[in-house]
Amino acid sequence: MNNDIASAFGFPAVGRKKVTAAFDGGRLTSDGGVLLLAQAERAMGICQQLAACISDPRDPGRVVHHLDDILRARIFAISCGYEDADDLDVLRDDPGFRLALGKLPGSGVGLASQPTMSRWENAPTTRELARMMAAMIDIYCASYPAAPAAVTLDIDDTCDVVHGYQQLSFWNGHHGERCFLPIHVYDTATGRPVAMLLRAGKTPSGAEAAGHIRRLVRHLRRHWPDTHITIRGDGHYGRPEVMTLCEATGVDYVFGLPTNAVLRADPEIVTVADACAVRRAQRQCPVLRNYAETRYGAKSWKCQRRVVARIEASTLGMDIRYVVTSLTEGSAEHIYDTLYCARGQAENLIKRHKSQLASDRTSCRSAGANQMRLILHTAAYWLLWRIQQEIPRATALATAEFATLRLRLLKVAARVIETATRIRVAFASACPDAGVFKAITTSLRPAPT
């Protein structure tokens, strides 16, 4: 151990007794909950599936760290809040991480170091990255015990500020930043991640968005040929190419629609809007909302489609928002308030992915390495999601954010004691979430064979 780290330092006296401290406690870990991550990963098999997508040219006889273990250590570290590969230079000898990767805490080589991690982040080719993204969709489908009758998938892009002149970086005038605009797809009702794709920092065109959705739907259909799929997104995805694709493949959609002069002059919408403004004035209420629908076809569209308008009259004036949908059932109010507005939860999931798992740490030079990081951070998302699913529903942590789960369940101090015949992990006696921790461990324990 570094002598500077192990040297003693002091705190104010307590009860007239001198208080000294040093980082010399021995075989302790501050991330005892990494063992929960190991159980969740073992149950889902994420790292083995991802490793199978990458060719390993190394001589098998000289391999010290297997590829799935390298990915496993990196994903566990991300889940515990260590988003930089540099942290692995210290964590490689952490007894908790060693146990999580099936290594004895006091003997043998440590985990892979930062240079090894960085080499493998840059190793996958474009084809291998595509296979890994397909594997993430496989993991999503396998997370359901049986094919669901219907799923609603939210698609959105988010600003990821770059750390320099990196591949795919692009100036975005709306955000006022040089950035990436990666696409995120979520099964919002359950919080499951589906796909994350790094792309240049500009709004996707209709052809690009349609291409991504086509590949996603095609892969989902291999697992779920009879599941009804609904795609939901904002105005970036309400493009004629996307809507035509959805209609051709039997996928429903609910997309935001930018306003224009034709919609503003539509007689159905104008009539409801005028009546809403009059009623608001007569009742002297600050805000009054109403809904209308019409059939509308832009010049770039091949047919007319159902358009729903949310009309809101207030003391500040009139505000009208539009949604285009392939759904024929349901009132205009249901389409907008219940279906379309629910996509706001996807933005919360994106924030969770970015801020709580630091997935915007895409600071590599190459686009491939940054896409690899998105995949690794999504795998960390899956592990925390799986742990959350095993928390008893009656406890407050069942609906907690990932940052809270990390603080309460992963950042748990433990002493690792190794004897000739067993290894004992001694957690703090005063751990406030000991009951939840034990319940998760029991739930994730593999069935006896």
pLDDT in tens, 77-87: 999 999 999 99
Count helices and strands in the chain by DSSP H and E runs: 17, 16
Q: Which residue has the tokens 């004691």?
A: 417
Cα(139)–Cα(47) distance, integer angstroms: 11
Say whether pLDDT at 111 is over 70.
yes
192-224 burial code (b ≥16 CB/10 A, e <16): bbbbbbbbbbbebebebbbebbbbbbebbeeeb
Q: Where in the chain is the domain with CATH 3.30.420?
A: 129-250+344-368
* pLDDT band at residue 179 under the 50/70/90 scheme: very high
Cα(368)–Cα(370) distance, integer angstroms: 5
* pLDDT band at residue 55 under the 50/70/90 scheme: very high
Say whether pLDDT at 446 is over 90.
no
Q: What is the pLDDT of residue 8?
A: 82
At 23, phi and psi to the nearest 5? Answer: -85, 65
Please give the mean pLDDT across all residues of the chain: 93
Once rounded to an integer, what is the mean pLDDT over residues 285-295? Answer: 94
* pLDDT band at residue 25 under the 50/70/90 scheme: confident
One-letter amino acid for residue 257 of the chain: L
The pTM of this model reads 0.93
Say whether pLDDT at 5 is over 70.
no
Q: What is the pLDDT of residue 6?
A: 61
* pLDDT band at residue 163 under the 50/70/90 scheme: confident
Helix axis angle for 367-389 and 114-122, nearest 10°, is 110
Once rounded to an integer, what is the mean pLDDT over residues 336-360? Answer: 94
CB under 8 Å to 436, separation ≥6 — which residues? 391, 392, 395, 397, 408, 409
Q: What is the pLDDT of residue 23?
A: 79
Q: What is the pLDDT of residue 225?
A: 96
Q: What is the pLDDT of residue 393?
A: 92
Pick one of 3.30.420, 3.40.5, 3.30.2000, 2.40.160 as the CATH number of 129-250+344-368.
Answer: 3.30.420
- Residue 371 near residue 179, CB atoms below 8 Å: no
